Amino acid sequence: MRGVVSALSRLGLWGRGAVIAMPFLWLLLFFLVPFLIVFGISFSESIVAQPPYAPLVGWLTDEEAGTTKLQILLNLTNYLRLTGDDLYILAYLNSVKIALVTTLLCLAIGYPMAYAIARADPARRGPLMMLVILPFWTSFLIRIYAWIGILKSNGVISNLLEWTGITSGPVEILYSDWAVYIGMTYCYLPFMVLPLYSTLEKMDPTLLEAAADLGCRPLKAFLTVTLPLSLPGIIAGSLLVFIPAVGEFVTPELLGGPDTLMIGRVLWNEFFANRDWPVASGVAIALLLVLVVPIMIFQYVQGRETEER
Amino acid sequence: MKRIGFLSWALWFGYAFLYVPIVLLVTYSFNESRLVTVWGGFSTKWYGELLNNEALLSATGLSLRVAAVSATFSVILGTCAGMAMSRFGRFRGRTLFGGMITAPLVMPEVITGLSLLLLFVAMEQVIGWPDGRGVTTITIAHTTFTLSYVAVVIQSRLAGMDGSLEEAAMDLGARPAKVFFVITLPIIAPALVAGWLLAFTLSLDDVVISSFVSGPGSTTLPMVIFSSVKFGISPQINALATLMILVVATGIFVASVVMARQDRQRKRDEQMAIQGG
């Protein structure tokens, strides 16, 4: 009997192990290992071959001595190019700038929205949040595309400005940094509103009443009570917008001008246009280095959030 | 009073910002004129042209297949991951595991795409599989990046669920696997459906990762849209977008009606149970 019980509990443990192992091994193989390969290839040399990079590890045979040596070639030229060429440094700085502006715009539009929804009648909160999330379910590409017709010369905004007489001719906002800001804010807004709403909704409204009873003005109550309490939501939302925005490719490619330099675009061009896989890998590693601190903060915030529940 | 005025104004502005572009997009799909910004009368001719576009139709078929398969894999793996994170307490490698689940949520797509491609190329050199790139590699890539979203959805549903039901079943002698299939799974079923739909939508929407890991002859719908949008706007894309929005809206409407009905049924059952007892 004892044997049966222990066999069963071992089976239970085995099942438990399998439940962990399946997603664990999948992510290890298809998420973590690829980064190591990218890291390795960033030290390789670009050659005309299939695949277009030189192997890092090779065997060096010395015919006279009759020995074979293991040879590992580490090539730092890719990184020297990244730090030596202004193009790359400008692209990194510009990506961070565009991501920061996008984050601030999302915060400026998203915070009042999340606040208004959190203070709305409880029965209306669900549908109001649904309306925020709904556009997220339609294609990202289609939403960017919608803005092309609005922002282009002779587009909706241009016609509107001309019709009202504010401008005398067609205006082109498309293919500029502003078009990128608008498009990215539009696409990332739900990611900002969601975490903001979930922290604001949990907030106890009696705190504000108490502040008002004690003679605190609404603005001061907002700044000293609401804002600090919603800080976790602000941090989570900002990171959810900022981190992917730094590496964004589609929006600057479709809405930005040829001089809207972003690192995602540089990586794409190195890979597809120049077929220089090692430099593309170097760009990716450098981008990861820029993002490693924000990603770690995000992990920490996300981990604490799930522990709390 | 003034504050409330500001708030509702902000809310209206936000919704207008979110919906006006979509309304305009749909409106111009019925435009007779080829110039997207000039209204030339009502017409449905672009929808007709859409049905004759072979490249678009085959890309749509491929995308739907990839999305369905990868969403299914990602729900299976994501449920395991969500269970491991919220029900298994501490285990070795939990921190690494948690990190690998949340990192893909924010990882820029260009990095994920490049790294997966390099992995596939290296694997092909070493073990000869996957043989070239195509549907298989796109499906694996999509499973990997949608898995995290599913895991987070499942994890939050499990965290919000009453654990005492599972404990009761366990106390009555049900084995863990039985508890999972008889108690846990039916309760988290709505989250499974939501996770599947989310993974399906994300897969159907992805252009960057697919571009990296696809091969010749495996062009997905977003890749077709992306390359045609780069050459400027065409009313055909508006028509396609309108159809996609229609499908999504119908899907969400049906899902919310079904869920509301289930909710009402559950409340009625609870009330009956209280009155009966």
Query: How many other CB atoms are found less than 10 A from the CB of residue A206?
Result: 9
Q: Which of B12, B21, B4 is nearest to A113 (CA)?
A: B12
User: Which amino acid makes up residue B88?
Assistant: F
In a domain, B199, yes or no: yes
Please state, in angstroms and as integers, the Cα–Cα distance from residue A160 to each residue in A165, A167, B137, following that order.
8, 9, 46
Smallest Cβ–Cβ distance between B108 and the set A34, A247, A298 belongs to A247
User: Which residues in chain B touch residue A244, judged by CB atoms under 8 angstroms apart?
Assistant: 106-109
In a domain, B110, yes or no: yes
Task: Report pLDDT for A1.
Answer: 52
* Three-state DSSP state, A9: helix
Task: Report pLDDT for B260.
Answer: 79
Q: Read off the DSSP letter of residue B1.
A: -
Q: Work out the mean pLDDT of chain A and round it to a whole number.
A: 86
Q: Is the pLDDT of residue A155 over 60?
A: yes
A112/chain B closest Cα distance in angstroms:
6
Question: What is the mean predicted confidence (pLDDT) over B16-40?
Answer: 83
Restricting to B residues 105-134, those with a Cβ less than 8 Å away from any Cβ of A are 105-111, 114-116, 118-119, 121-122, 125
Can you tell me the distance from the alpha carbon of B128 to that of B58, in angstroms, rounded to the nearest whole number? 28
Max mean pLDDT among A82-86, A105-109, B200-204 falls in A105-109
Smallest Cβ–Cβ distance between B88 and the set A16, A138, A140 belongs to A16
Q: Taking the complete model, does pTM exceed 0.90, yes or no? A: no
Q: Is the pLDDT of residue A88 over 60?
A: yes
Tokens 């960033």 sit at which residue?
A42
Cβ atoms of residues B245 and B181 within 8 Å: no
Can you tell me the distance from the alpha carbon of B97 to that of B112, in angstroms, rounded to the nearest whole number? 17
Query: How many other CB atoms are found less than 10 A from the CB of residue A3?
Result: 7
In a domain, B7, yes or no: no
Query: How many other CB atoms are found less than 10 A from the CB of residue B100?
Result: 22
Can you tell me the distance from the alpha carbon of A5 to that of A76, in angstroms, rounded to the nearest whole number? 59
Q: Which residues of B124-152 are buried (b: 16+ CB within 10 A; e: fewer)?
A: beeeeebeebbbbbbbbbbbbbbbbbbbb
In a domain, B97, yes or no: yes
Q: Is the pLDDT of residue A221 over 80?
A: yes
User: Which amino acid makes up residue A62?
Assistant: D
Cβ atoms of residues B147 and B78 within 8 Å: yes
Q: How many helices (H) and strands (E) does chain B have?
A: 12, 0
Task: Report pLDDT for A165.
Answer: 80
| Residue B89 pLDDT class (50, 70, 90 cuts) | confident
- Helix axes A86-119 and A177-202, enclosed angle (nearest 10): 40
Q: Which of A238, A243, A255 is nearest to A287 (CA)?
A: A243
In a domain, B205, yes or no: yes
The percentage of chain A sitting over the pLDDT mark of 70, rounded to a whole number, equals: 94
| Residue B17 pLDDT class (50, 70, 90 cuts) | very high
Cβ atoms of residues A241 and B85 within 8 Å: no
- Among chain B residues, the shortest Cα distance to A271 is held by B114
In a domain, B161, yes or no: yes
Question: What is the mean predicted confidence (pLDDT) over A11-34?
Answer: 86
Q: Is the pLDDT of residue B196 over 60?
A: yes
Judge: A112–B14 Cβ closer than 8 Å, yes or no.
yes
Q: Is the pLDDT of residue A12 over 70?
A: no
- Torsion A276-A50-B62-B109 (CA) sign: negative
Task: Report pLDDT for A13.
Answer: 66
Task: Report pLDDT for B1.
Answer: 42
Judge: B24–A156 Cβ closer than 8 Å, yes or no.
yes
Can you tell me the distance from the alpha carbon of A201 to that of A204, in angstroms, rounded to the nearest whole number? 8
Cβ atoms of residues B85 and A306 within 8 Å: yes
Tokens 């504000």 sit at which residue?
A208
Give the H or E element holding residue B269. helix B235-276
Judge: B118–A38 Cβ closer than 8 Å, yes or no.
yes
Torsion angle of the four alpha carbons B257, B263, B266, B267, in this order, in degrees rounded to the nearest 10: -120
Question: pLDDT digit string (tens) for B49-76?
Answer: 888 888 888 999 999 999 999 999 999 9
Query: How many other CB atoms are found less than 10 A from the CB of residue A68?
Result: 10
Instruction: State yes or no: ipTM above 0.95.
Output: no
Cis peptide before B190 (omega within 30 of 0): no
A249 and chain B in contact, CB less than 8 A:
yes
Tokens of B96: 């690494």
Give the CATH number for residue B151: 1.10.3720.10
Please state, in angstroms and as integers, the Cα–Cα distance from residue A279 to each residue in A42, A76, A286, following that order.
6, 10, 10
Strand A67-72 to A57-62 pairing = antiparallel
Query: How many other CB atoms are found less than 10 A from the CB of residue A81?
Result: 16
In a domain, B210, yes or no: yes
Structural domain boundaries, residue B177: 54-237
Tokens of B210: 């697919």
A87/chain B closest Cα distance in angstroms:
18
CA angle A171, A173, A176 (to 5 degrees): 140
Q: How far apart are the first and last CA of chain A?
A: 40
Give the H or E element holding residue A123. helix A122-137
A112 and chain B in contact, CB less than 8 A:
yes
User: Which residues in chain B touch residue A16, judged by CB atoms under 8 angstroms apart?
Assistant: 88, 176
**Residue B217, by phi and psi: left (phi above 0), alpha (psi -120 to 50) or beta?**
left
Number of domains comprising chain B: 1
